[in-house]
Structure 1
Amino acid sequence: MIYYKTTAEVELIRESCQLVSNTLATVARAIKPGITTLQLDALAEQFILDNNAVPSFKNYKGYPFTCCISVNDAVVHGFPNDVPLKEGDIVSVDVGAYKNGFHGDSAYTFAIGSIDENVQSLLRVTKQSLYLGIEKATAGNRVGDISFAIQDFAEKKHKYGVVRELVGHGIGRHLHEDPQVPNYGKRGSGAKLHDGLVIAIEPMINMGVKEVWYEEDGWTVKTKDGKPAAHFEHTVCVRRGKADILSSFEQIELEEKNNPNLFADY
């Protein structure tokens, strides 16, 4: 069942998404070599609670943390831990917040210190593929148009692995709603997009092969070949002519540029 949102509901989702974006900006300000992902998770949780919301992910199907924090070859759903981050790490932080009856969801991959040019390219291509997918999130198109745009750019043009096992999704009163939004597919296929549909588009792109495996915790997804992966996510509302991006990277990117511990030129 696909739920279309009213204008008032979209604005409430936007408020939740902006809180998520500000949470990620708070993480961007704090992340540095030596800090642990558990510390970042605690920081994010407190920020969400201080803004009269609750973390969407915590206790969702038993997930025990506020953020999914995935380092290097972890694609998504990584457990925060007490291992200090170090120079050269790339760190995907995925956050959700529930406020006024609606969820917001967004993710960003940070690079600590100096990173390899090949990793820079992976981050740049993954972020660009997100926006290429968003360009297709307009009324009259189909889900497959979003999927194809991402896959064509990341996989066909840049020879990266596009993860098949995990996909984007509808979002609103529930964290995961219909339709699913894969990062691979055929143009003109899948559900038709109508005005008022709110979806989370989230390319998960591997430097090497597309195949992944799950750690023993049952959550953390890693690349099969041990090469790095990147993940960027926006919540968007389908509109006629141009999608409305409800989350924002603007403050995150500003904090990223102002943080001397982060590499931002990708």
Structure 2
Amino acid sequence: MIICKSGTESSFMRKAKRIDTETDHLLAGHIEPGITTGELDHLADRYIRSQGAVPSFKGYNGFPASICASVNEQLVHGFPGKRKLNKGDIIAKTRQFTMSHAIQQYIENPNRGIPEQGPRLKTGIGLAIESMIQIGSHHVGTLEDNWTVVTMNVTSCAHNEQAVTCETGGMDIFTKLSA
């Protein structure tokens, strides 16, 4: 079921996503060889709380941290910890959302979707658009922690997300910071 958000709900989502985006920018300034993903998690947790918010991912279905920190072959939901970053590592800090079926179909089967199928976008619908790209095979597996998704051929991958809502005048992109 798709639930359209009210203006007040969209406002709360926008504020939360702004804090999340600001957290990304803060962490980007600390990512360097030798820092651990656990240290990044600590920085994120402290910043989020300093903004009067609570890291919603921490404790969700047993997830042990405030952020996901997926490095190189870890596609999504990596646990932060003692892993030190090396020069050239790819790291994604993410939250849990679901990629829309239409976007997934477009990425996996370009120009093969069925036009005019699925729900119509309308004012108040929120979307999390996540692109997950990996080199080589599309096969993935999950580690014993039942969270961390990794590439089966141990190649690098990348994950990115954007949160948006449909508004009367177009799309409102929550992850864009004002200049």
Matches within 5 A, 1:118-157: 145-151=102-108
CA-to-partner distance for each residue in 1:85-104, whole Å, 9 max, x for gaps?
001100011147xxxxxxxx
Match of 1:41 in 2: 41
Match of 1:57 in 2: 57
CA-to-partner distance for each residue in 1:35-73, whole Å, 9 max, x for gaps?
000000000000001111101110001111001110001
- Separation of aligned partners in 2, 1:88 and 1:19: 27
Match of 1:206 in 2: 134
- Separation of aligned partners in 2, 1:44 and 1:81: 13
1:244 and 2:161 correspond: no
Letter in 1 for 2:12: L
- Separation of aligned partners in 2, 1:95 and 1:78: 11
Q: Which moved more, 1:232-241 or 1:74-83?
A: 232-241
The CA RMSD measured in Å over matched residues stands at 2.5
Deviation at 1:191, TM superposition (A): 2.4
Residues 186/225 of structure 1: CA separation in 2 closer, same or farther (3 Å cut): farther
1:233 and 2:161 correspond: yes
3-state SS of 2:29 partner: helix
Which has a greater percent of helix?
A: 1
**Identity fraction in percent:** 37
Count of residue pairs the alignment pairs up: 178
Deviation at 1:6, TM superposition (A): 1.5
Matches within 5 A, 1:184-195: 186-195=114-123
Matches within 5 A, 1:72-111: 72-95=72-95
Deviation at 1:19, TM superposition (A): 0.4
1:21 and 2:36 correspond: no
Deviation at 1:249, TM superposition (A): 6.1
TM-score (normalizing by structure 1):
0.61
TM-score (normalizing by structure 2):
0.89
Which stretches in structure 1 are left out of the alignment for 5+ residues?
97-104, 106-132, 134-142, 158-183, 252-266
Residue of structure 2 aligned with 1:219, choices 147, 153, 164: 147
- Is the 1:145–1:189 contact (alpha carbons within 8 Å) kept by the matching residues of 2? no
Residues 58/88 of structure 1: CA separation in 2 closer, same or farther (3 Å cut): same
Residues 185/222 of structure 1: CA separation in 2 closer, same or farther (3 Å cut): farther
Which stretches in structure 2 are left out of the alignment for 5+ residues?
none
- Separation of aligned partners in 2, 1:94 and 1:146: 18
